[in-house]
Structure 1
Amino acid sequence: MPAGPDPHFVSRERELAALHAALDRVRHGEPQLVLVNGPEGIGKTALVRRFLGQARRSRVLKASGDENEAALPYGVLEQLLSCSLDGSEPLAVGSAVLGHLGHLQTAGPVILVIDDAQWADRLSMQALTFVFRRLRVDRVFAIVVTRDPDDPRLPEGMRRVLHDGLTLRLTVGPLDAGELGLLCGRLGVAPLSSSAVERLRVHTGGNPLHARTLLEEVPAKALNNMDTALPAPRSYALLVLGRLAGCAEQARRLVEAASVLGMSCPVHTASALAGVTEPLPALEQAVAAGLLFEEQGVGGLLVRFPHPLTRASIYQNLGPARRARLHLGAANLPDNEFHRLRHRVRAAAGPDPRLAAELAGWARLQAAEGHWHASAEHLLQAAYLSDDLVDRGRLMAEAVGVLLLDGRVDEARGVLARLPAAAEPAVRAYAMGHLAAVSGHLAQARNLLTVAWEGLDHHVVPVIARRTARQLAVLDLMRARGGDAAAWAQRALRMATERPVSDFTVFTRLTGLCVSGAAGEALSLTRALPDPSLASPYELDALLGRGLLRTFTDDLPGALGDLRGVVMACRDRSIPFRILATAMLGQAEYRAGEWDDALVHTETAASLADDAEQFWIAPICHALAALVPASRGDRAHAEGHLRAAESRPAQSQSVAARVHTAYARALLSTGDADHTATVSALEPLFELGVHDIVHEPGIVPWHDLLVDALTALGERERAQATLDRRREAAEECGRHSVLAAVERNLGNLRAARHETRAAEEAFLDGLEHTAHVDAPFVRAVLLLHFGAFLRRSGRRSAAADRLRSARDDLVRLRAQPYLHRCDRELAACGYPVRDRRGLDPGDLTPQEHAVAQLVIRGMTNRQVAGELVVSIKTVEYHLGNIYAKTGVTSRTGLTAKLAAVRP
């Protein structure tokens, strides 16, 4: 976007007023996102440029997408931040952008402008999606300029943000006859008759670019002559080329070289390519002709075309031979490998097997670093440069897999439809199977991937073969077939020529073993792992798996150590890895009774999964995020996550997602003492027809909720049958947390049958199991049921002792439904509770709780912002509310206050 206002700008008063009103809101701490959209040449850029010229006392950061650099990782964000971001992942980059904005806005509002967003690189737009979703009280004004907010080149997350009800949408329309008359005056055109102006409006459709070109190039006499035909808007290129022809040779060569380098480039690069020894006089002439703008960049003087149509007109007029020579010349300029390959591709006149092989190799390096967008683009370019249709099919199928990893399902479907007829059946089956898996057609996906595995030559296409095995492993884990998942993951690992980058293959193998009853074997494979801070990517994958294993086998201190270390060490890892690590840490913290931390991490994981379009893990993240609010009686909060977890069609939900979601919903119903709803949520799990994940002890502990609900409803035979199966499996693997819940179930069932002595023995056996695992909620619920049983048996003093012990844990956890019941039981024992501290968690919102917990750990505001992926301003805002609600004025006071309500 060129600097400086356009002196020929007319009208747009309504749009300018809306932009200035939005900026006023930003000045008062209300961040704004504005979408400026409209067809090509309609004046979107001119509108924003005029606004920026009028926006005083604001810091402006500008960037523009470029069709030629759409695959350049972080090309747009590097324009904004003026630094290299290569190798980072969007979440880390988004966090850095939030921190940068927090620093800049201390001096006044910050305006971000992303022009031609449809051509922005995908990684930049993903990072900006994180940023836009996390602006709360910041003085940040973001303007996204694009032709169509539904353009599939925009990531789905960004499209959702642009369609959000909070986004201000300004659609720039055509100029009317009166506005075109004003444009004539601004251009110094001799007065036109009203008929001539109306003809100009109809002829150009009110498009300012086309109208201005005609007004500048066609004499007023001809415009007023209604018998003379006007040039068609498509002749715009001829008008641009006429200006170019009027320039001296040095200026022409400079402009032509710049057109090969993109919408913008450094002057010295364009002059070197053009062979122009004195670039400034040439640039001056090109600027005077309206062919280029100049602007000061971080590295020196830049040139930019005023409009994509201007550049396209010049570029297309070069002719194939000259265009190829210039691209080859650009490929030899000092630059990075991305640009060198891009120019060599542009210069290719036909198939080039050597270049195709280089592109494919570069694409695989990009994939290893998680740059899926660039990898897919290079694979497709390699495919079209291959002179072998079989090889082309392999490269296109590989690109399908990469596109799916990047969440670009529609594009993957389009590439799959273009696979050449000569593509090998097994290669086609892989691409179709991977697409089917992502689309939720699990049976079809497994059949196709099996065909692919059996038909592929693993030595000829090792990448596709390995991805087939890995996809089969993930698919079997989704289907709750852990043993098969572990076997497929092991095959994929054996096929790697070197230790792979963390891609969940090791994690999938360890998890598959665990959920199929082989947790001991899985743990034996993880004994020699280093500290997470010293781990390689391969070892981090294994540490993530071990953390989950320890969670499921009651080694909660070990699990927390592994998972906290992994989360701290994976700041620059792929988004899926960080999401999964954060979610698994939250799950372990929930079981360990560290609910405030669990809420922080599961909420963060769910938010990131949505924003990053990681739909395979998002339902599980939302189900985990519902556990703490469900246990605390925060129905609205829990229901929000449950609706998100259940939002996808039932047939596309994995078994793992269905089990986690059903458990969370049953937990919410249990807190409400709605036993019928608990049974309704859980009974369908018996129909899933698999054991792994669903019935393996310690994975998703839902059976105890069902047994207690059935017992409360008087369905004792069904409760006993369910309990017997659960107890046998739990005793076989020795899971103390599960056995404690089993004994609680047994105690309640025996009490319902009036077997008083046997019921008390079961409760006492359960307490012995709780001594082997520090699971406060499991222990508290057991003590609550035990105390209620003792009260009903007439032993009020003994009941009160158990209930007080339960209350200590429930107060700390702020498990309100259970705490209310505990206090009612104590009152019935003759010991009414006067200390109600546990019932009032300070009236803090979930976001305020998250900030408070991190602050009292000693984190600075900047560290809290990085942990929660929000801006520093947002942290300051929440902290101010926390101080007001708790009546303190310092971090020290806050720590003391929260410690006082947590015995």
Structure 2
Amino acid sequence: MAERAAARLREHTLGNPLHARALLANVPLPVLADSSLPLPVPSTYLRLFARRRHAATPAARRLAAACAVLGGPCPLHLAAAVATELGEPLTALEEAAAAGLLRELPGRMIDFPEPLARAAAYDGLGAGGRARLHLAAARVIDDPGAALRHRAAAAGGPDELLAEELVGYAAKAVQHGQWQESAAHLDLAAGLTESAARRDELRTAVLEHVLIGGDVLRATELATGLATEFATGSSTGLATELAAARNADPRPVRRYVLGRLALASGRFEEASELLTEAWRHREPAFAADVAEQLAWLKLVTGQRAAAVEWARRAIEQPIRGAVARPYDVLALGGAPSAGAPSDSLAAAVALLEQDAAEQAGAMLRRVVAAERKAGLPHHRLLATALLAVAEHEAARWEEAATRAGRALAEAAALGQRWLLPCLEVVCAAPLAARGRLDRALAHVAGARSTARGLRHVLGERQADLATALLTAGAEPPEGGDAFVPDPRPGRIEALIADGRLEEAEGALAAFGECGRSRRAGPRGQSERIRLEALLQAARNVPEAAEEGFSRALALVEREVSPLQEARVLLDLGRLLRRTGRRKAAAERLEAARAIFERLGACPLVDRCAHELAACGLEPPATVRLGLTPQELSTATLVASGLTNRQIARELLISVKTVEYHIGKIYTKLGIGSRVALAAKLAACGQTA
């Protein structure tokens, strides 16, 4: 059973297993999942409610009927105005509550004891009685939309004037970002329209509005219904075939909407076929929307140049799509345009490229709020993902991880499958920064798996970039992506640590000359200088390295970029320790550790601890274990899984010295393996 169907069943029955089983035995699963269809009442409950109603007074029954039509919970005075010949409302409520028909809520509100009671009360009304009560409700209710819905429920057949009123209200709802409410009113209008052509036009609009409102799963249900309707009007021999194929409808506007649905659902080949056909027979009213959807399609399928071309076509159309964001495609496709709105995802991408994470974050918060008000979840989720990237860049990792995780869950619940790889990838970096590498790698693996299943080329590339970021020694793919932090600095550091200095120099030159290095601001400049200084230190030119670290530090100290400041302090402290200035080294390392601890950068806190141990600052564990500071530092790295060669590079000692220390450690602790060493350290509270 689909999750939505299960949720509807639970809401309708309040989880009562007897009633739930009765409905499952008699109601097809598609009906359970279709939120537009009311769920029936089990016969066992109908008999129970009928006995309650029979035992109630006439006034109580009339009040319950009015509440059923109004949809409860509702104000008592409103239900009394809808009911006829009620007498004293409070007396009628008391009698209805005593009979088990209604319950009183705070603030003179009334409701049924459970959802099944409301459905049973409504089903028990005759067609004429329901119509009269709906008309009475329409006269007394203040909400124009609700009044129209009551009038539609009371209609006994086609009513073109009422249908046009509903269409007018739907248009106003769209202006306030209420796409789902607009779709509901358009659906009612279609049911009141006698013209088959007009009815089909309205139902296509219903599908589009549900889809733009973000509910891809509901839109998929509607599309299946429309395909079946279209097939029913076709020749007998083709009806079955057409009902099975949602794409059989040849009308350009329907093909555009179905193509949009296919894209959001992650069916990219189908989307390409439908949108290309819709463009071939385009009409000015939706040409810009078709072009923009093709731009997004080309972007996610890895065709950046084509994506840029289609985005520009969308911009050139005389009638702009109200919900289209072609400038965002241009920015993400690497061809930003000066015409982008001042507050937009495109403008935020540019700010991130300029190393202005705080400004980008502030702008993206406004964009997210605007997209929420406009009722556009797909654009809001993308802006939310980029906001998480900006928060990661600003070292607010907990906020970033929480925000990205919520966006991922919402996209999955809505059926926005085309967004899932990107949102999975965005979750990874802030988790890794906090030391939760396993969870970060799981998100990347999930992104890659989803992307491969969808043939989502962009998603696979983002997963590759994230893998290179998390496993610093991996070769990253060329170019960058707005949703993944640049993995090249980590790669350069890994090359230097491995002694591959010529490769590191080449990678550093490429990092400084081209591509997406985000080096325009102080943080980016500091990062490039820090990497150059690391290379100088590895080549045993300590004076040049120290001078480089000092320049890098001057660019980011005084809270310009606390994370970058701490990174430079850590590297400078390592250099000072290596050149014998242990006291000065310890001062830098302590300062770095304090910043890392404040930011929650657990892996970097551990690195500072290792370096401080190597400086001779004796941690409490040395007393308990009987190890020297150098031995404890070595033991901690052994327990973390590093090889002897990697430990030598980390501590700037020879491999033979590492082997000597390990031998001494084993003797002192009375153990003979790395596994036993890890267990011993864990028992003493000294984590790797």
State whether TM-score is above 0.5.
yes
What CA distance in whole angstroms lies between the structure 1 residues aligned with 2:192 and 2:600?
Answer: 63
Q: Is the 8 A contact 1:38 1:148 kept in 2?
A: no
Q: Secondary structure at the match of 2:486?
A: coil
For 2:200, the equivalent position in structure 1 comes to 393
Query: How far did 1:416 drift?
Result: 1.4
Correspondence 1:397-412 to 2 at 5 A: 397-412=204-219
Query: How far did 1:360 drift?
Result: 3.0
What CA distance in whole angstroms lies between the structure 1 residues aligned with 2:67 and 2:543?
Answer: 90
Which residue of 18, 34, 38 corresponds with 2:17?
38
What CA distance in whole angstroms lies between the structure 2 residues aligned with 1:795 and 1:415?
Answer: 72
* Count of matched residue positions in the alignment of Structure 1 and Structure 2: 576
What CA distance in whole angstroms lies between the structure 2 residues aligned with 1:498 and 1:518?
Answer: 19
For 1:558, the equivalent position in structure 2 comes to 359
What CA distance in whole angstroms lies between the structure 1 residues aligned with 2:594 and 2:96?
Answer: 76
Q: Is the 8 A contact 1:730 1:739 kept in 2?
A: no
What CA distance in whole angstroms lies between the structure 2 residues aligned with 1:481 and 1:434?
Answer: 18
Structure 1 residues 510 and 264, CA gap change in structure 2 (3 angstroms): closer
Q: Secondary structure at the match of 1:307?
A: helix
Correspondence 1:634-713 to 2 at 5 A: 634-635=436-437, 638=440, 642=444, 648=450, 650-652=452-454, 657-658=459-460, 661-670=463-472, 675=473, 679=474, 683=476, 685=477, 691=479, 693-694=480-481, 700-710=485-495, 712=497
Matched, 1:318 2:144: no
| Percent identity (aligned) | 30
Tell which has more relative contact order, 1 or 2 (C-alpha 8 A, sep 6+).
1
Give the TM-score of the pair, scaled to structure 2.
0.64
For 1:82, the equivalent position in structure 2 comes to none
Q: Secondary structure at the match of 1:332?
A: helix
For 1:630, the equivalent position in structure 2 comes to 432
Correspondence 1:533-548 to 2 at 5 A: 542=343, 545-548=346-349
Which ranges of structure 2 fall in alignment gaps of 5 or more residues? 1-12, 37-41, 234-248, 622-688
Q: Which moved more, 1:282-291 or 1:478-487?
A: 282-291
Query: How far did 1:610 drift?
Result: 1.4
What CA distance in whole angstroms lies between the structure 2 residues aligned with 1:785 and 1:558?
Answer: 28
Query: How far did 1:775 drift?
Result: 3.5
Structure 1 residues 211 and 287, CA gap change in structure 2 (3 angstroms): closer
Q: Which amino acid is 2:293 matched to?
A: Q
Structure 1 residues 147 and 388, CA gap change in structure 2 (3 angstroms): closer
For 2:85, the equivalent position in structure 1 comes to 276
Structure 1 residues 648 and 334, CA gap change in structure 2 (3 angstroms): same
Q: Which amino acid is 1:393 matched to?
A: D
CA-to-aligned-CA distance 1:540-581 (integer Å, 9 cap, x gap) = xx1665444322211245335545666789997758477656
For 1:729, the equivalent position in structure 2 comes to 514
Matched, 1:435 2:261: yes
What CA distance in whole angstroms lies between the structure 2 residues aligned with 1:211 and 1:393?
Answer: 42
Correspondence 1:553-632 to 2 at 5 A: 553-563=354-364, 576=377, 583-593=385-395, 595=396, 598-607=397-406, 609-611=408-410, 613=413, 615=416, 620-621=422-423, 623-632=425-434
What CA distance in whole angstroms lies between the structure 2 residues aligned with 1:284 and 1:804?
Answer: 72
Which residue of 549, 555, 572 corresponds with 2:350?
549
For 1:26, the equivalent position in structure 2 comes to none
Q: Which moved more, 1:407-416 or 1:486-495?
A: 486-495
Correspondence 1:236-247 to 2 at 5 A: none
For 1:471, the equivalent position in structure 2 comes to 293
For 2:278, the equivalent position in structure 1 comes to 452
Q: Secondary structure at the match of 2:266?
A: coil
What CA distance in whole angstroms lies between the structure 1 residues aligned with 2:526 and 2:545?
Answer: 13
For 1:371, the equivalent position in structure 2 comes to 178
Matched, 1:347 2:154: yes
Q: Which amino acid is 1:152 matched to?
A: A
CA-to-aligned-CA distance 1:462-515 (integer Å, 9 cap, x gap) = 5xx554344345445545667766776676678798996xx6x55x62573365
Q: Is the 8 A contact 1:827 1:833 kept in 2?
A: yes
For 2:190, the equivalent position in structure 1 comes to 383
Query: How far did 1:340 drift?
Result: 2.0
Structure 1 residues 251 and 383, CA gap change in structure 2 (3 angstroms): same
For 1:152, the equivalent position in structure 2 comes to 33
What CA distance in whole angstroms lies between the structure 2 residues aligned with 1:279 and 1:265?
Answer: 17
What CA distance in whole angstroms lies between the structure 2 residues aligned with 1:478 and 1:416?
Answer: 23
Q: Which amino acid is 1:276 matched to?
A: E
Q: Is the 8 A contact 1:427 1:452 kept in 2?
A: yes
Matched, 1:417 2:230: no
What CA distance in whole angstroms lies between the structure 1 residues aligned with 2:266 and 2:79?
Answer: 49
Query: How far did 1:396 drift?
Result: 2.6
Give the TM-score of the pair, scaled to structure 1.
0.51
Q: Is the 8 A contact 2:391 2:399 kept in 1?
A: no
Q: Is the 8 A contact 1:267 1:301 kept in 2?
A: yes
Q: Which moved more, 1:441-450 or 1:490-499?
A: 490-499
Query: How far did 1:701 drift?
Result: 0.8
Q: Secondary structure at the match of 1:365?
A: helix
Structure 1 residues 476 and 366, CA gap change in structure 2 (3 angstroms): farther
Which ranges of structure 1 fall in alignment gaps of 5 or more residues? 1-33, 45-145, 156-173, 175-203, 217-238, 527-541, 837-903
CA-to-aligned-CA distance 1:657-685 (integer Å, 9 cap, x gap) = 55555555544444xxxx4xxx1xx64x4
Q: Is the 8 A contact 1:622 1:642 kept in 2?
A: yes
Matched, 1:516 2:334: yes
Structure 1 residues 334 and 822, CA gap change in structure 2 (3 angstroms): closer
What CA distance in whole angstroms lies between the structure 2 residues aligned with 1:487 and 1:474?
Answer: 11
Query: How far did 1:437 drift?
Result: 1.4
Structure 1 residues 35 and 750, CA gap change in structure 2 (3 angstroms): farther
CA-to-aligned-CA distance 1:753-789 (integer Å, 9 cap, x gap) = 7898998898788668768994343454455456656
- Normalized per residue, which structure has more helix? 2
Q: Which moved more, 1:701-710 or 1:401-410?
A: 401-410
Q: Which amino acid is 1:432 matched to?
A: L
What CA distance in whole angstroms lies between the structure 1 residues aligned with 2:113 and 2:173?
Answer: 29
Q: Which amino acid is 1:555 matched to?
A: A
Structure 1 residues 353 and 495, CA gap change in structure 2 (3 angstroms): farther
Q: Secondary structure at the match of 1:602?
A: helix
Query: How far did 1:433 drift?
Result: 1.4
Query: How far did 1:277 drift?
Result: 7.1
